[in-house]
Amino acid sequence: MNRASEISGTTRQNGQATIEYLIVLPVLLLLFLASLQFIFIYEAKLTLNYATFAATRAGALNNGSMSAIEDGLASGLAPLFNHGDSLQALKDARTLADTETSDSKLTKIQIINPNPAALSDFGTSTGIPNDNLMYRDDAAGSSGMDVQDANLLKVRVTYCTRLIVPIIKEMVYGIVVAHSQILSSSGGPLMSTLKVNTPASATGLCARDAQHTDYRIPLSADAVVRMQSPFKDPGKWTGP
């Protein structure tokens, strides 16, 4: 009788353990997938930080040219798309980076400083002078900055990175969209940086058209580099 009771008790314990396992397993799986997705997002943010610096550096060396900034950004983002060790893989990564950074619905580049007012204040036929700055007049112009401040190139890049982990990508996208809608209705900025309206037949905050239905969220990075050449009219202050 005691033996039968013992067996019965063991069976109930095994059944309870199985139920607990079935309850906990999906939670653990979601946590694992979420961790994996946020690792990819973190990798993209680190790459974007470096690419933004590379883009700003390229602009500082080339009179603040937007085309030079775009080229530097594509070069810096290329490692994000390189998944091989061959020369062809590197070429393909650079081509994809060029495509992504030249798409105005996936990438937004802003020259924050200097601004048009600073260019008007200190610009000459050769641009804003960047030599012998310590000896130049430090009076502020109508832009509110002096010539030293006008020689600091600040670039802000917002890039829509793709979410790729199943299940989690929909959850993260839903959270981002929900927050952006709440803040947008109350006048906040958050994810309205690109001001991209998602097509009705597509998904993704930065959806390009109905044929591109990947889930994307925008990441942003700033970089400041002292000008190494006279800043001239970049042609456009927001790109691509």
Q: What is the pLDDT of residues 67-78, one digit of tens each?
A: 999 999 999 999
Instruction: Name the token pair of 61.
Output: 């060396």
Amino acid making up residue 107:
T
Expressed in angstroms, the distance from the first to the final Cα of the chain is 82
Least confident of 39-43, 87-91, 223-227: 87-91
Q: What is the pLDDT of residues 149-158, one digit of tens each?
A: 889 999 999 9
Rounded to the nearest 10°, the torsion over CA 15, 17, 20, 22 is -70
Domain assignments of the chain as residue spans, ordered by start: 2-114+151-239
Which pTM value belongs to this model? 0.80
Q: What is the pLDDT of residues 103-142, one digit of tens each?
A: 888 899 999 999 999 899 888 888 888 888 777 777 888 8
